[in-house]
C-alpha cells in the first residue's frame, strides 16, 4: 500500500477472527505464513476476537491463560508488537461486558521506519465495535521520534557493558529516584548502541544479500578451490540463520550458530584452520 500523504510503501492486512479459541488457530497460522514472507513495514489490524491481557475484559468471565496462549505464542513467533491505543479503553461491548478484542500489530520494520505508533479507538456510534484509526497526516512541526528499545539490543555483545556503564554512574536521592535517574543514564548508551550497530538495517540487508549472491555465483564455478566453496556455503547458512532471528527472541547467540557450522564442517574434514578462523570471526548483522 502506498500512502498518499507520505512517500513510503507499507503492507496492511485487515483481520476478522473467529469467535472460539479452537477456530482461531487457523488465523494465527495464516498470519504467521504472511509474516514469514514479509519484507518491509507491515501493519495488521482489525477484530481478532481474542484477548491478550488479563485486563482486556471486564464484567464478564475472567480471562484465562487458555484464551491468551495462542495469541502470545503468535506474537513471539512473528516478532510483532502491539501498538499503543489512545481514546477508549475497550473496543467491543454488549452493554454489560466490555473487552478489547480489536488491535493493531506491527512488525519491526514498521516500528523502525514509521512515525505512526499509536491507534485511536473512536466512539462506536451505532455499532458494538469501536473503529480503530491510525493517522498518517504529518504534523507541520514534526517532533523528534521517541526512543524505542528493541529486544535485539540485548543480543549484542556490547549490550551488558554499555548498560553497566550507564548504571554505574553515581546518583543521589531516594531509591525510586535513583532507579529513575540510572535508567535515564542508560538511555543514551542504548541510543549509541542503536546508531553504531543497528542503524541503516535495510541498507545492511541489501549489502549482505548482494554478498550472498556473489558467493552463490562463486560456488557455481566448479574450478574454484573446494575449501572456498565450503566456506561460501557456511556463510550462506550463517546468513539464513541470523537473518531469520535478528528481530526475534534467540535461543542462542549468533557466534554459537557460527561455531556449530564450523564444527559440522570440521567433522566432514573439508575446512582448513585458516578458513575456520575467518568464518569464526564473522561479526555482522544482516
- Can you tell me the distance from the alpha carbon of 101 to that of 91, in angstroms, rounded to the nearest whole number? 6
- Can you tell me the distance from the alpha carbon of 204 to that of 39, in angstroms, rounded to the nearest whole number? 14
Residues facing 16 on adjacent strands: 47
Q: Which residue ranges of the chain lie beneath pLDDT 50?
A: 1-2, 222, 246-250, 268-271, 283-286
- Residue for cell digits 558467493? 215
The pLDDT value given to residue 217 = 63
Q: For residue 138, how many C-alpha atoms fall within 13 Å in the half-sphere facing its CB?
A: 14
The pLDDT value given to residue 103 = 93
**pLDDT 10s digits, 65-90:** 888 899 999 998 888 989 988 888 89
**pLDDT 10s digits, 161-178:** 888 888 888 888 788 888
The pLDDT value given to residue 45 = 93
User: Does the predicted model carry a pTM greater than 0.85?
Assistant: no
Q: Are 76 and 47 in contact (CB under 8 A)?
A: no
**At a CB cut-off of 8 Å and minimum separation 6, what does 12 contact?**
1, 42, 43, 44, 45
Amino acid at each position: 500500500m502506498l500512502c498518499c500523504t507520505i512517500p513510503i510503501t507499507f503492507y496492511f492486512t485487515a483481520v476478522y477472527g473467529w469467535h472460539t479459541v479452537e477456530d482461531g488457530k487457523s488465523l494465527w497460522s495464516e498470519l504467521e505464513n504472511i509474516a514469514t514472507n514479509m519484507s518491509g513495514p507491515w501493519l495488521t489490524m482489525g477484530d481478532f476476537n481474542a484477548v491478550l491481557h488479563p485486563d482486556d475484559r471486564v464484567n464478564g468471565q475472567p480471562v484465562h491463560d487458555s484464551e491468551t496462549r495462542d495469541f502470545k505464542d503468535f506474537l513471539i513467533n512473528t516478532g510483532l508488537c502491539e501498538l499503543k491505543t489512545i481514546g477508549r479503553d475497550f473496543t467491543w461491548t454488549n452493554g454489560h461486558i466490555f473487552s478489547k478484542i480489536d488491535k493493531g500489530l506491527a512488525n519491526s520494520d514498521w516500528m523502525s521506519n514509521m512515525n505512526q505508533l499509536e491507534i485511536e479507538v473512536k466512539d462506536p456510534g451505532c455499532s458494538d465495535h469501536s473503529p480503530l484509526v491510525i493517522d498518517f497526516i504529518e504534523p507541520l512541526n514534526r517532533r523528534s521520534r521517541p526512543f524505542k528499545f528493541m529486544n535485539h539490543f540485548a543480543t549484542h555483545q556490547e549490550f551488558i557493558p554499555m548498560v553497566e556503564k550507564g548504571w554505574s554512574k553515581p546518583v543521589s536521592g531516594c531509591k525510586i529516584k535513583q532507579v529513575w535517574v540510572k535508567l535515564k543514564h542508560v538511555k543514551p548508551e542504548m541510543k549509541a548502541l542503536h546508531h553504531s550497530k543497528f542503524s541503516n538495517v535495510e541498507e545492511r540487508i541489501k549489502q549482505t544479500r548482494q554478498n550472498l549472491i556473489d558467493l552463490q555465483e562463486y560456488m557455481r564455478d566448479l574450478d574454484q578451490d573446494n575449501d572456498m566453496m565450503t566456506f561460501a556455503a557456511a556463510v550462506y547458512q550463517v546468513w539464513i540463520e541470523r537473518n531469520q532471528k535478528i528481530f526475534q527472541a534467540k535461543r542462542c547467540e549468533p557466534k554459537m550458530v557460527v561455531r556449530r557450522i564450523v564444527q559440522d564442517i570440521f567433522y566432514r574434514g573439508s575446512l582448513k584452520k585458516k578458513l575456520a578462523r575467518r568464518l569464526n570471526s564473522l561479526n555482522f548483522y544482516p
